[in-house]
């Protein structure tokens, strides 16, 4: 067991291999195409293949073939074995020797009783999908949640079709704007309880660690702004995106946060993100 731990740590000691592993951790439990991994990390296909092979051989990730395409996903069991190996071997199982936030991280999410949970939705441009998610959460269950959204590369203006759709459904759009995630990583920013990515590109990017270690999830939905054709087809795509986000948010808001520990809560959030939702 010790030799396996050493082998896995040696595999992860390479910066680019660690980069691949971290990307797949962020996308967990998704299966990610090899080509998307290479593109996200700026790697040649042959180089990415070498790194993926090394991580697969170490048992840190798993491979699945679908036709001519290879998909990869992180092995949570292996990741847990690495962490537990370090904890029990190096710290002798003593929680007092590990960072104080480690034990807190495994418990229930920490929100002041009676207070609202802070939820941040992220995508690349923060002009459509994350804006819609922020608005839906705010206007449907705003009594329990504070909704925010931001982009890793925000647009200067909101998508006009998204704004039109939200307005047609009776939402107030007067205060909406595109925001950079840096706005929510400042010392005076509200501390997030949940952070959700709603596009694959944002999920693939290596963002700084969030203060307080919020529960995260990837709820990727296709970009409706990429749909071309008549205005009716474009509006239909935005309607489908709105419906998918609405159903996921309703499923999320129905969870019993007080009764679930972080592990159980994470499982439920991942399930919501991976299920094919019925769109309104």
**What are the residue numbers of the active site?**
123, 199, 207
Query: Prior bond to 49 cis, omega within 30?
Result: no
14: its two tokens: 């390479």
Instruction: Count the residues in the chain.
Output: 280
For residue 73, give the 3-state DSSP assignment: strand
For residue 65, give the 3-state DSSP assignment: strand
Give the single-character DSSP code of 277.
Answer: P
DSSP alpha helices (H): ranges in 149-278?
160-168, 200-204, 231-253, 262-274
Residue of 216, 223, 273, 280 whose CA lies nearest to 248: 273
How far is residue 41's CA from residue 43's CA, in Å, rounded to a whole number?
Answer: 6
Q: Are 206 and 23 in contact (CB under 8 A)?
A: yes
How far is residue 277's CA from residue 174's CA, in Å, rounded to a whole number?
Answer: 29
């Amino acid at each position: 067991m010790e030799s396996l731990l050493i082998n896995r740590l040696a595999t992860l000691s390479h910066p680019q291999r660690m980069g691949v592993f971290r990307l797949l951790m962020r996308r967990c439990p998704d299966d990610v195409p090899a080509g998307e991994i290479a593109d996200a990390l700026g790697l040649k296909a042959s180089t990415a293949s070498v790194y993926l092979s090394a991580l697969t051989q170490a048992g840190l990730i798993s491979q699945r073939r679908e036709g001519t395409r290879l998909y990869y996903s992180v092995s949570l069991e292996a990741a847990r074995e690495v962490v537990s190996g370090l904890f029990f071997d190096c710290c002798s199982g003593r929680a007092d020797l590990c960072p104080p936030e480690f034990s807190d991280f495994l418990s229930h999410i920490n929100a002041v009783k009676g207070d609202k949970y802070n939820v941040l939705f992220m995508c690349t441009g923060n002009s459509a999908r994350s804006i819609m998610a922020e608005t839906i959460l705010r206007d449907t269950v705003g009594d329990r949640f504070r909704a925010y959204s931001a982009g890793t590369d925000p647009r200067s203006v909101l998508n006009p079709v998204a704004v039109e759709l939200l307005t047609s459904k009776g939402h107030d759009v007067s205060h909406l704007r595109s925001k950079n995630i840096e706005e929510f990583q400042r010392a005076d920013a509200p501390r997030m309880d949940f952070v959700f990515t709603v596009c694959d590109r944002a999920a693939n990017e290596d963002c700084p660690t969030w203060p307080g270690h919020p529960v995260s999830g990837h709820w990727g939905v296709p970009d409706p702004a990429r749909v071309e054709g008549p205005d009716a087809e474009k509006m239909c795509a935005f309607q489908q995106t709105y419906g998918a986000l609405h159903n996921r948010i309703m499923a999320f808001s129905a969870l019993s946060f007080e009764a679930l520990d972080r592990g159980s809560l994470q499982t439920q959030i991942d399930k919501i993100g991976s299920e094919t939702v019925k769109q309104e």
